[in-house]
Structure 1
Amino acid sequence: MLLSEFSLSAREAKKAVFVNPLNIPIVLSGNFGELRANHFHGGLDFKTKQVTGLPVYSIADGYVSQINVSLGSGYMLHVRHKNGYTSIYRHMLGFVHLLANYTEKYQYEHELDEVTIDLPPDEFPVKAGQQIGWSGNEGYSFGPHLHMDLIDTESGDFVDPLQFYAGMVKDTKPPRAESIMLFPQSGKGVVNSRQANFSFPPYGNRVIEAWGEIGAGIRAHDYMDNVSNHYGVHSVTLFVDGKEVCSSNMDYFSAYENRMVNSWAYAGYMKSFRDPGNKLRFLHTGDDRGIVQIKEERDYKFMFVLKDVFGNSSNYTFTVRGKKQEIPEAVVKSKYILKWDELNVLNKPGVQLIVPAGMVYKDEPVNFETFDVPGAISLDCQLHNVPLPLHAPCELEIGIRNMIKQDTKKYYIAQKIGNGYKYVGGVYNNGYICADIKDLGTYTVKIDTIRPRIAPVGKNYWPKAGIVSFSIRDNETGIKYYKGRIDGKFALFHLKLMNSRLSCRLDSRKIQKGIQHDVEILVIDNCGNASVYRDSFKW
């Protein structure tokens, strides 16, 4: 069950031995560093044969350092190990008996469902292979699986756990490319006489003409034996005329680096060049940031080398023919430009956005406009006409022009998404609603005076199932708080994020059987609108 020692590459090695967190062969549905919306996938997704309730084991000696119950990750444990790593287990169905009792006691004492409990080293020590929980499908999860993160305890970096499981995973398949893209730099390069990005299949003897400064990217996936899933590519290296131009090795990243995925990736392509403000440590370039200079009328030989964590590799070659031609000057139609290395302020009457240095990864022209909508609470504020991710939240202020309610807690900033709106948040301050936003787009001020909806689910089956269930929903600003009581006392109701189902498993140690009971559910949304539902049942 134990593995041979395996050292991390490209950083100070920490030797470690880990066991399988499940009692079935390791098959993955997701690997470390996969490109996700606004983040890299931070761990491994272990398949659980499409069922829940498999035993989950600590992968090494250590102690349970933190217990979490959350909407996003369900039942989650942190185990700090003696070897310098911390493992995190997410989306579990529940904990083993001792941990479950400890957690429930804390929840009842604090009258909370969602909790974070930090623990000392001597509270719950564990050994490698000791059961700590049960696999599940809790939180933001689209099917039964176990998600496991591995953290370098000292630095806090996410580390690729797959490096330690070489003897337990069958993988003889190399990564495969789907498409290659060339990126002529604005005002500095052209590809096939144009300044537009140019994509092409990775096979064949295609020759592309270019001149000036260009970047290259590749869209590819990795594969493993006996499974249909595809995965992120561990290593991508670009060579031009035999010289390494750029390499990426997905061994580790920090939480701070997570949103830099928006700079490195473009429409699924991994760029083999670096934006000026992209500080990803696993991306290696020279002073030219991976930009290739096509300045001679000759053939330039490009080669991408793709590798997985076990060394399976594939090569993709193509030719860029240098053809001297005119490079049009960059045309910037917008009068607003966010500088990547400066403090930026977008300001018009009724709106202000502060964008500190480092919040964009290169200079970004933006189409900043405001629109007067008759009868609206505020202007519609277009910070940019297409979504543009920011590295971290930035403060947006929008003035209220039509105060239709005096209760300022009912106002919030919303982002326009298609024909609808997405709640962002905000607080009132001297005639403005202020909120932190993570993307440029179009924003406005809305008002929410509608209470959440509460409805019993399957009430006739409550006595037989021993579970009291409700559907709770708020279609505008979302649910901020909920609490359930049975016979006037706090009852532990757990909310399932994916179906908005709030349920309490009845426990004869806390609720007397064979009599009539009163249940009360309180739900509050993000603008303070509250609903209370009262009912009775016999159990």
Structure 2
Amino acid sequence: MFRRFISATLLFLSASTCTYGQTDYPKNYFSPPLDSDLVVVGTFGEIRPDHFHTGIDLGTGEMEGWPVKASADGWISRIKVDSRGFGKALYITHPNGFVTVYGHLKSFEEPVASLVRKQQDKNEVYEVELFPKKNELKVKKGQIIALSGNTGNTSGPHLHFEIRDEVTEQPINPLLFGWNVPDNIAPVLKNLRIFPVREAGMLDKCDTAITYEILPTEGLYILNTADFIQASGSIAFGFETVDQIDGSAATLGIYTAEFYVDGQLAYQWRMDRLDFDEQRYVNAHIDYLSKVRDGYTIERCHRLPGNHFSLIYSDTNATGYSIFGDDAAHDLKFIARDFAGNASQIEFQVIAYSTLFNNPYLPRPEGSVLVSNQKGIAVHKANLDVTIPNGAVFDNFFYTDHESKNETLISSQFRIGNDQVALGLPITVAIKPNVSVADSLKSKAVVVRMDDDKRPLALASYWENDFVTARTKKFGNYGVMLDTVPPVVSKEYVPADLNTSRGLIVQYKMKDALSGIKSYRGMIDGKWHLFEYDAKNDLLIADIAHLTQNREHPVEITATDQVGNTTIWKSAFWY
């Protein structure tokens, strides 16, 4: 029979403990940028691909064109038009030391609209970035500054809103500024993942992680397992949680989490403030393997050795690892809370058995080399060079590579590392082609990563001696291809098309099969014409309302990819 053990050993780097810095942010200074009831469709600090979400997303009814208002008095300090990222975005600096950001806009109001168009016409480009002088473009609280849209990297129409510290440029959770967002829905707990430290911990007779489903039952959460959880040695934990909010069907991230071992707070994090320079640590905060393999977003209640994120953890000295070195039962509790304070929790036990260490560790991969956060490696082979710098990986892993044939490549294909291991810094991959490449074609050679469906993803590449070289932030399958095919342009919509009406615009598809679009230039009636580029949909869009009507208008689009292949596509439309 097991005795109740009061506490397991919790690992700290030092005996000191710190708490979150208490900051009194001004309440009621910033008003919501939309007139309608606030519908939050994305929360601050949510896990996004390779980054934390640095603002909140406000729903616009899946429509574009909602009036966007300045949240407070200030001056427009930055204007950006981008085919990716935030798309069309405005930045307003306020006299109290904060900057508000408004992203994915459809259009700007005057005088910004004319200022942007003047710069676009001058440079004959769509993408521009302007930094007006202080107080040159003053705005008042509640003044309409733009219309909401769907520009940039989006999955649907909405407004992205941020509040940043003017000095540090760190984004701050906008809900800390006193907005009233009704929320009576508690977070949902979905999965528990337990991580024995490799060769230092055991879980159910092995030193590999296991995921347990969490189920709601009679107002409580329980683990979907009939067996006791047995562990010994160095063990860590992580949980998958989601949240919802009143009036929104979106799946959201939580605000804060607490993890207790035998009644002691072992780990805590809270999404108050982020730092753009530390975004890479998102893949250390989550279990990257579960994300890429299973689609689970497991947020760790422990810090990997290479996770140096400084702002969301209540105690930067706490590692969150527990040492179960006894034969006893241990009580564990996880609490997830949203910003409104709604909470969900699960309590469970881990039974520590020291005899679990009688089982063998998972064998190391044959021919592998240990890579740690503190020490990278350089691999030099006949047709492959790989450099993994210090600090590139977040935790220890055993590096291997494997060479195989791929008829679509002009080199061997190399499986480099493990694509379920996250990288925090780029590694360098250099591959030697197995065919002779003429000097005239060397600029067309690119390192490609073959993703799961075998579609090649080209990287910015260069020659170094006889190797084609690139930097990448992912392990995986790599090789070399020649990109000699220029972009393809085709008609998507013109006003003369029957049974459709998209307004006074023309649309053309612009795609490149490998290295991607580098630049384009559109002309109508023999003159440069502004074509907006919607990169996520491969669309070029031009407003033709001011053109002369009842005549044919010749169109010429020149598209160039990243290695210099160019298409000059000509057509015409009647308007």
**TM-score (ref. length: structure 1):** 0.92
Farther off after superposition, 252-261 or 193-202:
193-202
Give 1:432's aligned residue: 467
Give 1:276's aligned residue: 305
Farther off after superposition, 281-290 or 416-425:
281-290
SS of the aligned residue for 1:283 comes to coil
SS of the aligned residue for 1:396 comes to strand
- For residue 94 of structure 1, the aligned residue among 107, 110, 115 is 107
**Structure 1 residues 484, 154: closer, same or farther in 2, change over 3 A?**
same
Matched, 1:342 2:375: yes
2:368 maps to a residue whose letter is K
Q: Is the 8 A contact 2:39 2:247 kept in 1?
A: no
- For residue 565 of structure 2, the aligned residue among 506, 516, 529 is 529
- For residue 544 of structure 2, the aligned residue among 494, 506, 516 is 506
- For residue 485 of structure 1, the aligned residue among 523, 529, 550 is 523
Cα distance in 2 between the residues matched to 1:143 and 1:211? 47
Q: Is the 8 A contact 2:64 2:149 kept in 1?
A: yes
**Structure 1 residues 376, 471: closer, same or farther in 2, change over 3 A?**
closer
Q: How does 1:49-128 map to 2 (within 5 A)?
A: 49-72=61-84, 73-128=86-141
Shift of 1:94: 0.6
SS of the aligned residue for 2:118 comes to helix
Q: CA RMSD in A?
A: 2.3
Q: Is the 8 A contact 1:52 1:134 kept in 2?
A: yes
SS of the aligned residue for 1:290 comes to strand
Identity of aligned residues (%): 26
**Structure 1 residues 527, 194: closer, same or farther in 2, change over 3 A?**
same
SS of the aligned residue for 1:32 comes to coil
Q: How does 1:308-319 map to 2 (within 5 A)?
A: 308-319=338-349
Which runs of 5 or more structure 2 residues have no equivalent in the other structure?
Answer: 1-18, 215-220, 291-296
SS of the aligned residue for 2:245 comes to coil
Cα distance in 1 between the residues matched to 2:201 and 2:418? 25
2:153 maps to a residue whose letter is Y
2:207 maps to a residue whose letter is Q
**Structure 1 residues 196, 363: closer, same or farther in 2, change over 3 A?**
closer
Cα distance in 2 between the residues matched to 1:374 and 1:532? 31
**TM-score (ref. length: structure 2):** 0.87
Give 1:218's aligned residue: 239
Cα distance in 2 between the residues matched to 1:460 and 1:197? 58
Q: Is the 8 A contact 2:44 2:53 kept in 1?
A: yes
Q: Is the 8 A contact 1:462 1:468 kept in 2?
A: no
1:179 maps to a residue whose letter is N
Give 2:4's aligned residue: none
Give 2:323's aligned residue: 293
Query: After superposition, what is the alpha-carbon deviation per residue over 1:268-317, rounded to whole angstroms, capped at 9, x for unaligned?
Result: 11111111110122134575611111112222111112111222222211
Shift of 1:513: 4.6
Matched, 1:391 2:424: yes
Farther off after superposition, 19-28 or 303-312:
303-312
2:421 maps to a residue whose letter is L
- For residue 371 of structure 1, the aligned residue among 392, 404, 419 is 404
SS of the aligned residue for 1:103 comes to helix
Q: How does 1:112-511 map to 2 (within 5 A)?
A: 112-167=125-180, 169-202=181-214, 203-204=221-222, 207-266=228-287, 267=290, 268-281=297-310, 282-285=312-315, 289-327=319-357, 328-329=360-361, 331-333=363-365, 334-371=367-404, 373=406, 376-405=409-438, 406-418=440-452, 419-459=454-494, 461=496, 465-508=503-546, 511=547
Q: Which has the higher contact order (CA 8 A, sep 6+)?
A: 2
1:528 maps to a residue whose letter is G
**Structure 1 residues 166, 123: closer, same or farther in 2, change over 3 A?**
closer
Shift of 1:331: 3.1
SS of the aligned residue for 1:291 comes to strand
Aligned residues: 529
1:474 maps to a residue whose letter is D
2:162 maps to a residue whose letter is D
Give 2:16's aligned residue: none
Cα distance in 2 between the residues matched to 1:376 and 1:455? 28
Q: Is the 8 A contact 2:207 2:362 kept in 1?
A: no
Q: Is the 8 A contact 1:338 1:364 kept in 2?
A: yes
